[in-house]
C-alpha cells in the first residue's frame, strides 16, 4: 500500500538585470514504500563569459566539462534531482557562457560550455577554449573537474586538451562515462579499459547513466569526500 507525503515549496525569483535568477526554497519530500527523497537546494547564480563576471564567492567549485550530446544537462538535473535545471542554452551559435550553480550553500557546480558541436566556426571554438582555459587557470576556488563523455566514444584531442589544462593547473580530473545503460556490464568494463589506455592511468573513471540516475550518487559522494570535505 502506498503512503505518500508530498510537500513542494517554491520560491521563484527572476532578475534579468543582474543576470541572476534563483530557486530559493525547493524541497520535495516523497515518502513512498519507505523511500525518502529530498531535492538539493540549488540556486543559479549567474552566467559569465570572462573572469570579471565570476561570482564573488569563496565556496569550493567543481567544474563540469562535457561534449555536446554527452548528457551534461541530464547529468546536472540528475545530480540535483531536478527535472529541468540546466536550462541555459547550449545550442551552437548562441552565446556560450559559464554557468554557476550554488548548492546547499556549501559548494558551487560550474557548468562549462559544451564542446564538439558539429558545424561550429573556428571563432566559436577559439572563444570556447579561451573562456574555459581562463576559468581553469584563474579560478582559485576550483577544487576539481568532472568530464562527461558518452561511454561509447573514444578519447579525442578535445578530451586531451581538457586533461592537459587540468594537469598544468594541478586540478584533479574525473571522467564520467555516461549512457552506460546502453551497454552490458562486460561491454562497459571493456570500454573503461580502452579509454584508460587512450588517456592516462591517473584518471579515475565512473560509469554512470544520467537518464537512469545510476552512479550519480557515487559521484556526489566522491566529490564531497575528496574535494569538498563538507
Ligand atoms: P548535453 O548536450 O550534453 O547537455 O546532453 P543532453 O543532456 O541534452 O542529452 C543528450 C541526449 O542524450 C538526450 O536525448 C538525452 O535523453 C540522452 N541521454 C542523456 N543521458 C543519457 C543516459 O544516461 N542514457 C541514455 N540512454 N541517454 C541519455
Question: Would you say the CB of residue 77 lies under 6 angstroms from ligand 1?
Answer: no
Question: Would you say the CB of residue 96 lies under 6 angstroms from ligand 1?
Answer: no
Write out the three cell numbers for 97.
557562457
Question: Would you say the CB of residue 209 lies under 6 angstroms from ligand 1?
Answer: yes
Distance of CA 91 to the CA centre of its chain: 17
Those residues with Cβ within 8 angstroms of residue 152's Cβ, 6 or more apart along the chain or in another chain:
179, 182, 183, 191
* 18, 53 Cβ separation under 8 angstroms: no
Q: What's the CA-to-centroid distance between 211 and ligand 1, angstroms?
A: 7
Question: Would you say the CB of residue 90 lies under 6 angstroms from ligand 1?
Answer: yes
The model's pTM: 0.83
Those residues with Cβ within 8 angstroms of residue 217's Cβ, 6 or more apart along the chain or in another chain:
none
Taking the chain, what is the end-to-end CA distance rounded to the nearest angstrom? 37
* CA distance to 40, 48, 125, 174, per residue, from 220 (Å): 12, 24, 30, 12
Protein residue with its CA nearest to atom 20 in ligand 1: 71
215 Rama sector, left if φ>0, alpha if ψ -120 to 50, beta otherwise: left
User: Which atom of ligand 1 is least distant from the CA of 208?
Assistant: 23
Distance of CA 222 to the CA centre of its chain: 14
The sign one gets for the Cα dihedral 112, 113, 117, 122 is: negative
Segment (H or E) for 125: helix 122-138
Residues 41-44: contacts with CB under 8 Å, at least 24 apart: 41/103, 41/104, 41/105, 42/80, 42/82, 42/85, 42/101, 42/102, 42/103, 42/104, 43/101, 43/102, 43/103, 44/20, 44/85, 44/88, 44/99, 44/100, 44/101
Q: What's the CA-to-centroid distance between 107 and ligand 1, angstroms?
A: 25
The tens place of each residue's pLDDT in the chain, 230 residues long, gives: 444 443 333 323 323 333 333 333 333 333 333 344 556 789 899 999 999 999 999 899 999 999 999 999 999 999 998 877 755 445 554 568 999 999 989 999 999 999 987 777 888 888 899 999 999 999 999 999 999 999 999 999 999 999 999 999 999 999 999 999 999 999 999 999 999 999 998 899 999 999 999 999 999 999 999 999 85
Q: What's the CA-to-centroid distance between 34 and ligand 1, angstroms?
A: 30
Which domains, from first to last, does the chain contain? 1-39 (no CATH), 42-228 (3.40.50.300)
Question: Would you say the CB of residue 72 lies under 6 angstroms from ligand 1?
Answer: yes
What is the DSSP pairing of strand 173-178 with strand 142-150? parallel
Which of 65, 69, 89 to mutate for ligand 1's pocket (most ligand atoms within 8 Å of CB)?
Answer: 69
Amino acid at each position: 500500500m502506498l503512503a505518500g507525503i508530498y510537500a513542494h515549496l517554491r520560491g521563484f525569483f527572476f532578475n534579468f538585470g543582474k543576470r541572476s535568477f534563483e530557486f530559493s526554497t525547493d524541497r520535495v519530500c516523497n515518502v513512498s514504500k519507505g523511500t525518502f527523497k529530498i531535492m538539493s537546494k540549488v540556486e543559479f547564480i549567474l552566467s559569465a563569459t570572462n573572469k570579471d563576471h565570476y561570482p564573488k564567492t569563496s565556496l569550493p567549485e567543481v567544474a563540469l566539462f562535457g561534449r555536446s550530446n554527452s548528457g551534461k544537462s541530464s547529468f546536472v538535473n540528475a545530480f540535483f534531482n531536478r527535472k529541468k535545471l540546466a536550462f541555459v542554452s547550449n545550442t551552437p551559435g548562441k552565446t556560450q557562457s559559464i554557468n554557476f550553480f550554488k548548492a546547499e550553500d556549501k559548494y558551487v557546480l560550474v557548468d562549462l560550455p559544451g564542446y564538439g558541436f558539429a558545424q561550429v566556426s573556428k571563432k566559436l571554438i577559439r572563444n570556447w577554449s579561451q573562456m574555459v582555459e581562463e576559468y581553469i587557470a584563474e579560478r582559485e576556488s576550483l577544487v576539481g573537474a568532472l568530464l562527461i563523455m558518452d561511454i561509447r566514444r573514444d578519447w579525442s584531442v578535445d578530451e586531451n586538451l581538457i586533461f592537459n589544462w587540468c594537469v598544468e593547473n594541478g586540478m584533479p580530473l574525473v571522467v564520467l562515462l555516461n549512457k552506460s545503460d546502453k551497454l552490458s556490464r562486460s561491454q562497459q568494463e571493456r570500454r573503461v579499459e580502452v579509454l584508460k589506455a587512450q588517456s592516462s592511468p591517473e584518471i579515475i573513471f565512473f560509469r554512470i547513466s544520467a537518464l537512469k540516475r545510476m552512479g550519480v550518487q557515487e559521484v556526489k559522494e566522491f566529490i564531497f569526500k575528496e574535494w569538498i570535505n563538507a
